[in-house]
Chains A and B, each alone.
Chain A
């Protein structure tokens, strides 16, 4: 690998992944291109931008052979230009748009450098993630005084074909749980183009994290998404623990694993039920959510809250696992295991379910790699990526389990993978309960964190979740960057919807398991 990269970069191994390469902006493209060629399944995980005073630092985090390599470069703040890498790897499109939106970096050659998360009428030249953008200087109420229709994003009117009908879905729509807008251009019944507009749930979490202490940030970060809250919390505390070089007790690791797998169970059951609703199978929705309720009860039993469990803290977990709770957990899980046999046979035999999901929204393996998708969406297309196996965290290194992959790449495969992962999660929880080590469940950590930076990755139900934390020696973080799995998976929907029927759009969309509160942060 070193030979391919050449002497232009300095290879440093530190907590920023397996290796870090420091380079000049002009050599950036070549280094990334060579890195991506080291592995067939190499792709970009995230692009972290941060304000370094006179310069803006850009860090391209790349996954190759299951591990992370970071390429760092800096551009001057008064002229922040760098060449795009979207022609090398299209999956970087959204990442570059976000850095342009929030930090003001201009990526030359990017096909579509429009606003991503900030509102349309946000003032030009005001970049929230720069250090000189103080909260007092932000616009207080955009157009709220006169609540007339604001100019909405105009879809590219490049075709003057009057046959095409523009259908706008959202921000309020019965099929969507969250506000987001999709402009679908249809020719008859076939979808010709999809233009998303996200950012309705952008609450500025990354900037807010800089104004709160590390412990306060745990409560902020876990509320990025209510469905995968434990994963966000663990990714953040894991990164902070790497900076502090804390040794987390093994009992805490096992308890963390149990909480994460319970999170995965409830999330997959939620999605499979929601998928039933979108396909038009409301009875499946009611059945799945009925079977999901015992998992919420278990989460409440072990952590105190049904949804936002607040169980992770820096140094361990907040509550110990009580011995008397273990039989209750095991009983409920065995009940759920039997129900999963019923759902599996339903998915295998029910013809209407198969007709609505097989060969719908097919994503080929090459596209999955080029668009850098993660999680069940990637595994359904044959890409073997699972952070629990690639870089084990918590207790996953000690617990045997299978990472499930399929090859069809259609909606059916994406839903079936989640169904099988439910059974695997039940196995993991039972193993962890049987092999729970004794000892402390938490260690004390200092309030002021030494200067340093670290990344952490966790396999959330939707895919690989990535956090980058930089500390500057005070009680407040310098920069927190979050890259959520739906942010990576959304471009794949823009590809798979085109050419399909408009009636297939809901089923295809829901099989991604989109979570826009994660995407927008």
Chain B
């Protein structure tokens, strides 16, 4: 049963996109992923409206002090196992806005991050690369953990 759910999770990760204080540059590149040129639906990636349905949280933007609570709450609402991808320089470390008076910092100060995709904004190809690398690392760690499991 576990291998079935893991297979579903890796072959069709459902993502939730949350903007915690971004300039929209990274957000429009994330939305561009769903459009015909990049079309991540062929990887099974689907944009979900609710945190309760999502496997992967794509966060963009630096975390402002007003968004700290909301980000933590959304992360807590996601069911295990969950993964967080920080997209853009601001999500990784605060970017140009680091040390401003309402900026808390990068996403990893609030929730644990599994993948960092730097760029300002990163091109959609870079975002796809990051997500695919994350799925690949999960797949290899899964197969290491259970060497006798049937695929």
Binding site for B on A (CB under 8 A): 118-119, 128, 133, 135, 138-139, 141-144, 147, 149-150, 171-174, 177-179, 199-205, 207-208, 219-220, 223-227, 229, 270, 285-286, 289-290, 292-293, 296, 306-308, 515, 517
Knowing A128-B101, A172-B70, A308-B120, say if A286 contacts B36 (CB, 8 Å).
yes
Which listed residue (A143, A177, A229, A517) contacts B69, Cβ 8 A? A143
Q: State A270–B49 Cα separation when bound (angstroms).
A: 20
For window 3-28 of chain B, which residues contact chain A by CB distance below 8 Å?
Answer: 18-28
Knowing A118-B102, A225-B23, say if A293 contacts B37 (CB, 8 Å).
yes
Distance in Å: Cβ of A514 to nearest Cβ of chain B: 11
Interface string of B67-81 (1 = CB under 8 A from A): 111101110000000
CB–CB A203/B62 < 8 A: yes
CB–CB A229/B25 < 8 A: yes
Knowing A118-B102, A289-B35, say if A225 contacts B66 (CB, 8 Å).
no
Interface string of B109-124 (1 = CB under 8 A from A): 1100000000011010
A-chain residues with CB within 8 Å of residue B66 when the two chains form the complex:
119, 142, 199-200, 202
Which listed residue (A150, A201, A270, A286) contacts B22, Cβ 8 A? A201
B-chain residues with CB within 8 Å of residue A229 when the two chains form the complex:
23, 25
Which listed residue (B28, B69, B99, B121) contacts A270, Cβ 8 A? B28
B100 at the binding interface (Cβ < 8 Å): yes
A-chain residues with CB within 8 Å of residue B36 when the two chains form the complex:
286, 289-290
CB–CB A138/B101 < 8 A: yes
Q: State A306–B65 Cα separation when bound (angstroms).
A: 29
CB–CB B28/A144 < 8 A: no
B64 at the binding interface (Cβ < 8 Å): yes
Closest to B22 in A: A517
B96 at the binding interface (Cβ < 8 Å): yes
Q: State A177–B32 Cα separation when bound (angstroms).
A: 12
CB–CB A289/B32 < 8 A: yes
Name 28 A/B residue pairs within 8 A (Cβ), A-sorted.
A135-B99, A141-B65, A141-B104, A144-B69, A144-B104, A150-B69, A172-B74, A173-B49, A177-B27, A202-B64, A205-B100, A207-B100, A207-B101, A208-B97, A220-B96, A223-B120, A226-B22, A226-B28, A226-B121, A227-B24, A285-B35, A289-B31, A289-B32, A289-B36, A293-B32, A296-B32, A307-B28, A307-B121
Q: State A204–B103 Cα separation when bound (angstroms).
A: 8
CB–CB B70/A179 < 8 A: yes
A-chain residues with CB within 8 Å of residue B102 when the two chains form the complex:
118-119, 202-204
A-chain residues with CB within 8 Å of residue B108 when the two chains form the complex:
none
Binding site for A on B (CB under 8 A): 18-29, 31-32, 35-37, 47, 49-51, 61-62, 64-70, 72-74, 95-97, 99-104, 109-110, 120-121, 123
B-chain residues with CB within 8 Å of residue A227 when the two chains form the complex:
24-25, 28
Knowing A119-B102, A219-B96, say if A290 contacts B23 (CB, 8 Å).
no
Knowing A144-B110, A286-B36, say if A201 contacts B101 (CB, 8 Å).
no
Q: How many A-B residue pairs have CB under 8 A?
A: 146
Closest to B37 in A: A293
CB–CB A179/B20 < 8 A: yes
Closest to A207 in B: B101
Which listed residue (A144, A178, A207) contacts B68, Cβ 8 A? A144
Q: Which 5 A-B pairs have the closest CB atoms?
A: A226-B25, A174-B49, A289-B35, A204-B100, A138-B101
Q: A226-B28, A227-B24 are in contact. List 20 more A-B contacts (CB 8 A).
A: A141-B65, A142-B66, A144-B72, A172-B18, A173-B49, A174-B49, A174-B50, A177-B19, A200-B64, A201-B64, A202-B66, A203-B103, A204-B103, A223-B25, A223-B95, A223-B96, A226-B26, A227-B25, A290-B35, A307-B29
Closest to B63 in A: A144
Which listed residue (B23, B26, B29, B68) contacts A147, Cβ 8 A? B68
> Which of A128, A143, A150, A179 is most buried by chain B, counting CB atoms within 10 A of its CB?
A179
Closest to A152 in B: B69
Distance in Å: Cβ of A166 to nearest Cβ of chain B: 18
Distance in Å: Cβ of A156 to nearest Cβ of chain B: 21
Q: State A226–B25 Cα separation when bound (angstroms).
A: 4
CB–CB B123/A225 < 8 A: no
Which listed residue (A139, A200, A219, A515) contacts B21, Cβ 8 A? A200
> Which of B27, B31, B101 is most buried by chain A, counting CB atoms within 10 A of its CB?
B101
Closest to A120 in B: B66
CB–CB A147/B69 < 8 A: yes
Q: State A296–B35 Cα separation when bound (angstroms).
A: 13
A-chain residues with CB within 8 Å of residue B32 when the two chains form the complex:
289, 293, 296
Q: State A118–B102 Cα separation when bound (angstroms).
A: 8
Which listed residue (B25, B70, B101, B110) contacts A307, Cβ 8 A? B25
B-chain residues with CB within 8 Å of residue A202 when the two chains form the complex:
64, 66, 102
> Which of A119, A135, A229, A290 is most buried by chain B, counting CB atoms within 10 A of its CB?
A119
B-chain residues with CB within 8 Å of residue A133 when the two chains form the complex:
101
Distance in Å: Cβ of A292 to nearest Cβ of chain B: 8
Q: State A207–B101 Cα separation when bound (angstroms).
A: 8
Q: State A477–B13 Cα separation when bound (angstroms).
A: 47
> Which of B29, B51, B70, B100 is most buried by chain A, counting CB atoms within 10 A of its CB?
B100
Closest to B50 in A: A174
Knowing A172-B70, A203-B21, A286-B35, say if A306 contacts B96 (CB, 8 Å).
no
Q: State A157–B13 Cα separation when bound (angstroms).
A: 42
B-chain residues with CB within 8 Å of residue A207 when the two chains form the complex:
100-101
Closest to B123 in A: A306
Closest to A138 in B: B101
B-chain residues with CB within 8 Å of residue A179 when the two chains form the complex:
18-21, 67, 70
Q: State A229–B96 Cα separation when bound (angstroms).
A: 14
Q: State A286–B18 Cα separation when bound (angstroms).
A: 21
CB–CB A226/B24 < 8 A: yes
B-chain residues with CB within 8 Å of residue A270 when the two chains form the complex:
28
Distance in Å: Cβ of A378 to nearest Cβ of chain B: 22
CB–CB B65/A308 < 8 A: no
Q: State A227–B24 Cα separation when bound (angstroms).
A: 7
B-chain residues with CB within 8 Å of residue A171 when the two chains form the complex:
67, 70
